[in-house]
């Protein structure tokens, strides 16, 4: 029989916000993602945090693609704010845009949970144009990732060799693994995980076998990157401020 106790850990939330949440409808997977962001931030007395999609997928049981979709909706509707790849709950619930919209002429009618309608002047937006725009954005994003992939991978290998004092070269097989990881993680997340890994003396060769990590060790699957991305180390502060390819 389960009997959770507050003294074993709790998440602080203002009653005013909780009261508003009771009347504000959030669709299924979006609500699960919202609750996870709240748990990973306020549950650890943090205002914001760097939360990987894999973490949310593991916590909710939702597929990573659905997590990404749900998070995008939460950001679009202003329930969650993303800044420098960190997520936080937007406590100013007056900015939240209700889910469920009907476009009519030059106005957007937003249906609230109390069936009242909020009208916002937007200009004509056709659903088919929105779909085409989304498809174009997705295609452009994929093309951008492919274009930058080789350059990013070259930087990854260079950084790995610096941190581990090795002389690995780029290979087609390793590049394929890197691109696969990039489908889930941002470049900064992968390099950050690499910094965490390099801070482990055991993986630097200080073990009974003299074994040392290689690039493929980190890139072998998403779980491996996520593990090191969320491992605490005293020697990783410098990696938080690295300027990465494609960032201003």
Question: Could you read off the pLDDT of 201-221 as tens digits, one per residue?
Answer: 888 988 888 899 999 999 999
Task: Please give the pLDDT value at position 151.
Answer: 84
Of 101-105, 194-198, 214-218, least confident by mean pLDDT is: 101-105
Q: How confident is the model at residue 1 (pLDDT cuts 50, 70, 90)?
A: confident
* Bridge partners of residue 111, in order along the sequence: 117
Distance CA 219, CA 173 (A): 11
Domains of the chain: 13-98 (1.10.10.10), 143-241 (no CATH)
* CA atoms of 198 and 194, how far apart (whole Å): 6
With beta carbons less than 8 A apart as the criterion, state whether 40 and 55 touch.
yes
The pLDDT of residue 114 is above 50: no
pTM score above 0.75: no
Mean pLDDT over 219-230 rounds to 91
Q: pLDDT, tens digit, for every residue of 62-92?
A: 998 899 999 999 999 899 999 888 999 999 9
């Amino acid at each position: 029989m389960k009997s959770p106790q507050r003294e074993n850990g709790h998440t602080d939330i203002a009653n005013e916000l909780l009261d508003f949440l009771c009347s504000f409808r959030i669709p299924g997977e979006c609500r699960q993602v919202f609750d996870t962001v709240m748990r990973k931030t306020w549950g650890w007395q943090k205002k914001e945090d760097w939360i990987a999609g894999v973490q949310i997928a593991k916590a909710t049981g939702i597929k990573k693609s659905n997590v990404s979709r749900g998070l995008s909706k939460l950001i679009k509707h202003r329930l969650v704010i993303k800044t420098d790849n960190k997520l936080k709950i937007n406590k100013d619930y007056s900015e939240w845009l209700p889910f469920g919209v009907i476009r009519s002429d030059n106005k957007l009618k937003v249906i609230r949970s109390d069936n009242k309608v909020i009208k916002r002047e937007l200009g004509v937006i056709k659903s088919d144009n929105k779909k085409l725009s989304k498809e174009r954005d997705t295609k452009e994003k994929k093309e951008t990732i492919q274009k930058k992939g080789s350059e990013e991978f070259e930087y990854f290998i260079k950084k790995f060799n610096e941190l581990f004092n090795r002389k690995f070269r780029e290979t087609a097989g390793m590049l394929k693994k890197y691109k696969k990881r990039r489908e889930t993680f941002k470049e900064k997340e992968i390099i950050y995980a690499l910094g965490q890994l390099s801070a482990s003396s055991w993986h630097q060769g200080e073990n009974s076998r003299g074994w040392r990590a290689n690039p493929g060790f980190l890139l072998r699957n998403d779980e491996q990157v996520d593990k090191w991305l969320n491992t605490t180390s005293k020697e990783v502060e410098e990696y938080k401020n690295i300027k990465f390819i494609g960032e201003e």
